[in-house]
Structure 1
Amino acid sequence: MKQLTRPTIFFLACLVCAGCSSTKNLKPGQFLYTGADININPDSGKRIADQKQVKADLESKTRPRPNKSILGIKYKLGIYNLAGEPTKPKGFRNWLRRQGEPPVLLSEVKLRYNNDVLKSYLISQGYLQAEVTGDTVTHGKKGKAIYTANTGDRYKINKVTFPPDTGVLTKVINENKDKTLLKVGNFYDLDVYKNERIRIDNDLKEKGYFYFSPDYLILQVDSTIGNNLANVTVKVKDIAPDAGLKPYTIKEVNIFPNYSLRRDSVLRNLKPLEYNDFKIYDNRNTFKPGLFDRLVFFKRNEAYNRKDHNKSLNRMVNIGAFQDVRMEFLPVDSFKNNQLDLNIFLTPLKKNSLSFSVVGTSKSNNFVGSELKVTQTTRNLFRGAEQLDVSVSGGFETQVKGTSQGKNSLSLTGEAKLTFPRFIVPFFKANSTNSFIPKTIATLSYQMINRGSEYTLNASKAEFGYNFKENLYKEHNLNPISINYVSTGFPSKRVEDSLFAVNPLLRSTLENQFIIGSNYNFTYTNQMEDSRRNNTYFFGGIETAGNVWGLFTSKNNEGKRTILNTPLTQFIRAEADLRDYYKITRSLIWANRLNVGYGYAYGNSTSLPFVRQFFAGGSNDIRAFAARTLGPGTYRVPEDAVFADQGGDIKLMLNSELRFKLVSILYGALFVDAGNIWLRKEDVGNPATGDPGRPGSEFKFKNALKELAVGTGVGLRVDASIFVVRLDVAFPVRKPYLPIGQRWVFDDVNFGDKDWRRDNLIFNIGIGYPF
């Protein structure tokens, strides 16, 4: 931090050399193209609205694009020149040359083409009298293009006229003209006109006009009325075909649930099973007929509409039972009447499949290792597109960092998950009519963790709940029944007593317990919309345990409610995670996250059970602190602690990260993390048993911001779309466990000091982005 490192100096030197060598290989008469300048109305000096943005848009549409640069240095061209002309078909020089790019020459600029493109764009934005002229200038071995745009005044819409109501089609258009995107007083905009044609087409598709197309509409613009105004007339083209001008109804719905091209002729000649409005062609009875009531929304003799078309297609694709889905609409009697036959061809996935996976694990408690997992999937279990997944996995882990470094862990996990593609609600029939299949999920799992000579943990879980998407953006998960039983075994009473004597915190962590309750999660995201400048993700969850069951259980001698002589855990836990991704440019994203959590324990419990507590520190959290070692509050884990994991009832975390593309699939990041965890009530310990407690662990609103830990760092990411491998290095700049006034530690930062690096630099390797 106090001096430039050798790699930094070398990198800067390479950039300088790259800048100096950008024109050295040009031949006589060649000029390096440096880009385009746009001058808007230079003679009149009149500024147009949003001139800066219009100028940027015009510049982005010129071709070719100049060589890529950073801070004005054409680094890719420098790499290309540095590699030189290869002498062999393979080798390092060939590889290096491919990482660069050849010089973009001024001779490649086509002025007339660019003039037309820029003029067309200005006209599309309402500058109907625009003119553009271009020229080139050179200086030394470099040259650029200069375009002069005389825009004239921007036209506004004066009046919008829709076609007269002369039939059913024009009646539909006029019924919805109040939804028009063409507003009197708005500027002329070609994109709005195109979207208006699509809007009208959508309205007609909902009324049965299957063969209509936006191309059958024309929007005539009259700009001769003066005062920079234009009248817009919406018309149906005279050359539109008859098939596009009439509505269609569905005559037959034919479903082929077990279709293959090889059996096509056999299936078509079968006698169909008539079920409600469907004819089902399947002599193997692959699926129960009732399944298609939930998948296909078309009915016999009803008018075609796009909404039912999209919902049916989405449901059949997303149910997870078919490898291929095809819907075919065929006119009856070759367009002579207004009826369509709908043929639905469905090719099922294989009934059974077996998958193996070997994965590397990296957990938040610093355990790393490997796991082998085998999963058996059985589809269409009860002929209703149900899916049963049975998996068995086993793994070995070792703790590579922290106070328990060198400890090993063996794990064995079994899970069975049965998914029904519908709501199953006792005494109530629940239906969903949107594009997404609701799911009922029942899960049973068991996990055994063996920590060598210390203890063995057994966790059993049973859960029953629902998953359903309200729309493309909103998803709900409700588990009204969730039962967890955790039991711990020790090699001997002596081992148990010695373990708790060294660390009393382990007693509450490893005690046997029942967690019986319900949980609900809600997720909102629009991250799938790449065209958005700003994307948002929100997760909110609430969990309750022991509320209802506590009313039906009796108390033991210690006053605790128990089930099978095991204490019943009672608490309410809520968590929210809000993320924002702002695209500064295409390759520069500013990502931010706010994560808060609160837990309230009561009755049997004085704090949240360890498996439901909040933790701070680690590769997806506050990266400048080792996993689960931060907090609670101003408490600091002793260096000789056997069990370093620190949990809390309250959590506050803020992350900010600037992500940028370096080259190809390699990305970089600069980040700042802040946060901490606290207990609702301070852990005062028990001096009689030697438990010192955790002083400073209690949450106090007035002190919360003063007790935040802050860390910063840099990261590298290999983003290959299907997977992301991440390496982050971080260091703390604020340590909450230090005395007030000494918590900011900027002055202590010294990358050249070996002891400082050992005590402060934290390396995190992860899969996927941290948030």
Structure 2
Amino acid sequence: MSKRNFSYLFFARQSAISCQPSDISPDSYRDQASLPVYFLYLLGLVLLVTSCSTTRKLKPGEVLYTGATVKLNPDTPAVKDQKNFQKELEAKVRPAPNKKLLGWRYKLFFYNLVSEPKKQKGFKYWIKYKLGEPPVLMNQVRLQNNVNVMSSYLASKGFLQASGSGDTTIRGKTGKAAYQLYSGPRYTINAITFPGDSSSAISGLIYAARNKTLLKQGDYYDLDIFKAERERIDVQLKEKGYFYFSPNYLLIQADSTIGANQVDIDLKIKKETPGAALQPYFIRNINIYPDYSLRRDSFTRASEPVQYKDFTIYDPNHKYKPRLFEHLIFFQKGDPYNRTDHALSLNRLVNIGTFRFVKAEFTPMDTLTSSNMDVDFMLTSSKKNALSLSVTGTSKSNNFIGSEVKVTHTNKNTFRGAEQLNLSLAGGFEKQFSGQQKDLTSYSLGAEARLLFPRFLIPVAGFKTHNAYVPKTHITVGSQLLNRANYYTLVSGKGEFGYLWKGNEFNEHQLNPLSVSYIRTANTTDSFNRMLEKVPTLKNNFENQFIIGSNYTYTYSNQVKPELRNNFLFMGSVESAGNLINAFLRKDESGKKRLFQTITNQFVRLEADFRDYYKINPGLIWANRLNLGYGIPYGNSSVLPYVRQFFAGGSNDIRAFRSRSLGPGTFYINTDSLDLFADQGGDVKLMLNTELRAKLFSIIQGAVFIDAGNIWLAKNDTSRPGGQFRFGNVLSQTAVGGGVGLRVDASIFVVRFDLAMPFRKPWLPPGERWVIDQVRFSDPEWRKKNLIFNIGIGYPF
């Protein structure tokens, strides 16, 4: 970490001030004549002047609109859920005043900061119209319009006698609006009438499903529920073949004259509904144009089609195998049209990743008596080959700075069945710029090939998916060379065969029945070999070894619905290695089982990651994470392999501690020393993170966070005393740290800067582990040992 550190002292004073700078005198602070005091005085003066400047540039006669107050039933009895209704009414008032931060209209400040730019681009334009916004004036306020909107909203929620009024108050160059709304009584539903079941076939369907209605006797009158009921009936009819029906053909009439603040509901089909909407349609021909474009339209339609089962395929260049569409299109000849098959077919065609444009056209037969229709699927292919380049930069808390370049070639239709082949090459380096290992450089080289099939190659008994997501099979092979300067060279290879599928839009599964990894350590240095002799468990980690087993990962996330106030993500995985292969191997003279003279690991590893994102308001999010991991080495293994161990510390973990330097347990290693290996792994992990994320302005975000956790060993290790996991010692051996962060959200990626310090050090003697009272920002030595600066790409979780 850089030796340039800064510390600031902040405190607040409560005082009454006006927009006259002369009201504040530094004489009142003479008894505290210090740099922080005068700094605060200067800061307060600047904020005072800038707050006054928001009206300074208004033209004569212009008045700044500062907002509105809305009072619901101010002098009449409150209604049920009145607070929620008042919030909804406040949100409907227009216009919105200029945005504020801690009472400061910062966007208006930036708008006034620069003069009008000559061009609609450049730095001045960015300051004035991107960071800033023009003043919202009182002449933009339309009182009666706002009253009408709010009264209409209340009427839509059952307050059919709602009324209101509005007024304005102007003081100097600022003004505000005030509204009073009176709801009156809220009406409820007395009775619901549906179309007769014998008047027509479509009326009979609506009547038969009346028990699923959203309209309930005794419920409040609510236009949103009425709209939802029309959409429910429309969905029901679309499933029965009524392709041309629309919710607009349903009429819901409410009779409020029956008294007692009640209404009778009469649901009927409009008389002017066209005949096409009143009859079901059946699928006749299913035509597929898999390489469609407007330029080749006539040529494609004139080509000789291929008949495959119920599909007529127009593919003159034979770009795709006909069987591809069997699991993508759900319609069959003679079936009634239904919206489910329509949506599933389009979604699968999109999600397969081969077509960049998908369209389905339905054409009824051109006769008065026919109820048949043809469906044409027009599919525009993506480019078969694509090349992508990604560059990432890293700055770790162990003073390493580096970068990685990755080139990926993608073939999206490898064997004419929408198979996707990804070939990637990656190279990276890390260089340490400070510390005792200054100028050491590590590098890595990697290659990977991944082939995805849009189906299960080996059918899984009893498994069927009838949703929008195509199940896939993947075959992956790859290798990596990792050179750790001053330590070793690690050569690894892997191969996996498995399945990926989604149960719905929220959950995803990945099952790899076969996963093989080979790890070989070469070119170890003398200093590293001496470390291995001191720590026998570490020596076992760096033996040449196989990891042969199976793994399963389950992911659940509702982040696909950003409109939810609370988003949740869960990732859980389980891996088992060595059981099957070791059943066929014999022990050697050392008591170990080996394959090709190489040890075969045997362990079970479980990990769970819970994440929760709660939106306090549109610009403030409270993010939390709980990460648990447990590995059990047994049989042929005494420790987890190094590549499967858990680590603590670093920019995405417990940020107040250097990368991989924390634990296990109360064991401590001096990261500035070369005597021991700094990467401390464990078999058990517990981590808690909480972070408050706030949007400051434009693309700049701030954060305050606290991290806690540690790692432990499943078995006792005499070379790392205090590292064994014991449930009763978890809290006493937990590390705690926290800090502040700044994020630049450029949409494509997020650049993150986090500054953290430890609050609790688990390796210290009991009773001395909390160190938050030892903070010394002014001490360079304290800053060097305790302040950790992290730079990362993306959010930590």
Given the two structures, how large is their TM-score scaled by the length of structure 2?
A: 0.91
Task: Provide the rounded CA distance (Å) in 2 between the counterparts of 1:553 and 1:606.
Answer: 18
Within-5 A mapping of 1:406-425? 406-425=439-458
Distance 1:154 1:758, change over 3 A: same
Alignment check: 8 A CA contact 1:366 1:627 kept: no
Select which of 78, 84, 91 maps to 1:53. 84
Alignment check: 8 A CA contact 2:440 2:486 kept: no
Alignment check: 8 A CA contact 2:541 2:640 kept: no
1:607 deviates by: 1.9
Alignment check: 8 A CA contact 2:716 2:723 kept: yes
Matched, 1:68 2:102: no
Select which of 760, 763, 768 maps to 1:737. 763
Task: Provide the rounded CA distance (Å) in 1 between the counterparts of 2:121 and 2:232.
Answer: 55
SS at match of 1:97: helix
Alignment check: 8 A CA contact 1:578 1:594 kept: yes
Superposed CA deviations along residues 673-698 of structure 1, whole A, max 9, x for unmatched, are 111111122211xxxxxxxx111111
Alignment check: 8 A CA contact 2:397 2:790 kept: no
Greater shift, 438-447 or 383-392, is seen at 383-392
Within-5 A mapping of 1:579-594? 579-594=611-626
SS at match of 1:707: coil
What amino acid maps onto 2:589 in structure 1? N
Superposed CA deviations along residues 370-398 of structure 1, whole A, max 9, x for unmatched, are 33333332232222111222222233322
Task: Provide the rounded CA distance (Å) in 2 between the counterparts of 1:43 and 1:520.
Answer: 62
Alignment check: 8 A CA contact 2:245 2:278 kept: yes
Alignment check: 8 A CA contact 1:15 1:75 kept: no
Partner of 1:3: 9
Matched, 1:763 2:769: no
SS at match of 1:133: strand
What amino acid maps onto 1:536 in structure 2? F
Distance 1:86 1:213, change over 3 A: closer
1:167 deviates by: 1.8
What amino acid maps onto 1:103 in structure 2? P
Distance 1:174 1:314, change over 3 A: same
SS at match of 1:751: coil
Task: Provide the rounded CA distance (Å) in 1 between the counterparts of 2:432 and 2:513.
Answer: 36
SS at match of 1:333: coil
Superposed CA deviations along residues 705-761 of structure 1, whole A, max 9, x for unmatched, are 111111111111111222111111111111111111111112111222222211111
Matched, 1:355 2:361: no
SS at match of 1:536: strand
Greater shift, 714-723 or 404-413, is seen at 404-413
Alignment check: 8 A CA contact 2:196 2:203 kept: yes
1:540 deviates by: 0.5
Partner of 2:26: none
Unaligned runs of 5+ in 2: 1-6, 11-35
Select which of 333, 336, 344 maps to 2:366. 333
1:401 deviates by: 6.4
Partner of 1:656: 690
Matched, 1:679 2:685: no
Greater shift, 125-134 or 359-368, is seen at 359-368
Distance 1:645 1:223, change over 3 A: same
RMSD: 2.3
Within-5 A mapping of 1:206-355? 206-333=239-366, 337-355=370-388
Alignment check: 8 A CA contact 1:617 1:627 kept: yes
Task: Provide the rounded CA distance (Å) in 2 between the counterparts of 1:733 and 1:767.
Answer: 25
Matched, 1:80 2:86: no
What amino acid maps onto 1:240 in structure 2? T
Alignment check: 8 A CA contact 1:249 1:302 kept: yes
1:270 deviates by: 2.4
1:90 deviates by: 8.2
Alignment check: 8 A CA contact 1:503 1:643 kept: no
SS at match of 2:296: helix
SS at match of 2:111: helix
Within-5 A mapping of 1:708-747? 708-747=734-773
Distance 1:18 1:178, change over 3 A: farther
SS at match of 1:450: strand
Distance 1:91 1:172, change over 3 A: closer
Distance 1:25 1:287, change over 3 A: closer
1:174 deviates by: 2.0
Distance 1:311 1:585, change over 3 A: same
SS at match of 1:468: strand
1:359 deviates by: 3.5
Greater shift, 334-343 or 713-722, is seen at 334-343
Within-5 A mapping of 1:88-237? 95-98=126-129, 99-165=131-197, 166-237=199-270
SS at match of 1:706: coil
Task: Provide the rounded CA distance (Å) in 2 between the counterparts of 1:267 and 1:85.
Answer: 55
Partner of 2:29: none
Distance 1:209 1:17, change over 3 A: same
1:334 deviates by: 6.1
Select which of 633, 639, 644 maps to 2:665. 633
Matched, 1:441 2:441: no
Partner of 2:610: 578
Within-5 A mapping of 1:302-701? 302-333=335-366, 337-361=370-394, 367-400=400-433, 404-425=437-458, 431-452=464-485, 454-490=487-523, 497-498=529-530, 500-501=532-533, 506-638=538-670, 639-641=672-674, 642-684=676-718, 693-701=719-727
Alignment check: 8 A CA contact 1:482 1:517 kept: yes
Task: Provide the rounded CA distance (Å) in 1 between the counterparts of 2:45 and 2:356.
Answer: 55
SS at match of 1:616: coil
Task: Provide the rounded CA distance (Å) in 2 between the counterparts of 1:359 and 1:88.
Answer: 35
What amino acid maps onto 1:682 in structure 2? N
What amino acid maps onto 2:207 in structure 1? N
1:84 deviates by: 5.4
Task: Provide the rounded CA distance (Å) in 2 between the counterparts of 1:8 and 1:440.
Answer: 63
Alignment check: 8 A CA contact 2:426 2:446 kept: yes
Greater shift, 353-362 or 404-413, is seen at 353-362
Task: Provide the rounded CA distance (Å) in 1 between the counterparts of 2:390 and 2:112.
Answer: 45
Alignment check: 8 A CA contact 1:404 1:643 kept: no
How many residues matched? 761
SS at match of 2:295: helix
1:582 deviates by: 0.7
Given the two structures, how large is their TM-score scaled by the length of structure 1?
A: 0.94
Greater shift, 542-551 or 180-189, is seen at 180-189
1:590 deviates by: 0.7
Superposed CA deviations along residues 414-459 of structure 1, whole A, max 9, x for unmatched, are 2111111001226968543221010100011111123356422110
Alignment check: 8 A CA contact 1:623 1:762 kept: yes
Partner of 1:687: none
Alignment check: 8 A CA contact 2:394 2:793 kept: no
SS at match of 2:203: helix
SS at match of 1:548: helix
Alignment check: 8 A CA contact 1:364 1:628 kept: no
Task: Provide the rounded CA distance (Å) in 1 between the counterparts of 2:511 and 2:397.
Answer: 26
1:233 deviates by: 1.4
Task: Provide the rounded CA distance (Å) in 1 between the counterparts of 2:347 and 2:119.
Answer: 53
Task: Provide the rounded CA distance (Å) in 1 between the counterparts of 2:277 and 2:515.
Answer: 55
Distance 1:418 1:364, change over 3 A: farther
Greater shift, 68-77 or 509-518, is seen at 68-77
Unaligned runs of 5+ in 1: 685-692
1:219 deviates by: 1.1
What amino acid maps onto 1:461 in structure 2? K
SS at match of 1:528: coil
1:263 deviates by: 2.1
Partner of 1:38: 70
Task: Provide the rounded CA distance (Å) in 2 between the counterparts of 1:664 and 1:147.
Answer: 32
Select which of 56, 68, 75 maps to 1:24. 56
Task: Provide the rounded CA distance (Å) in 1 between the counterparts of 2:755 and 2:554.
Answer: 33
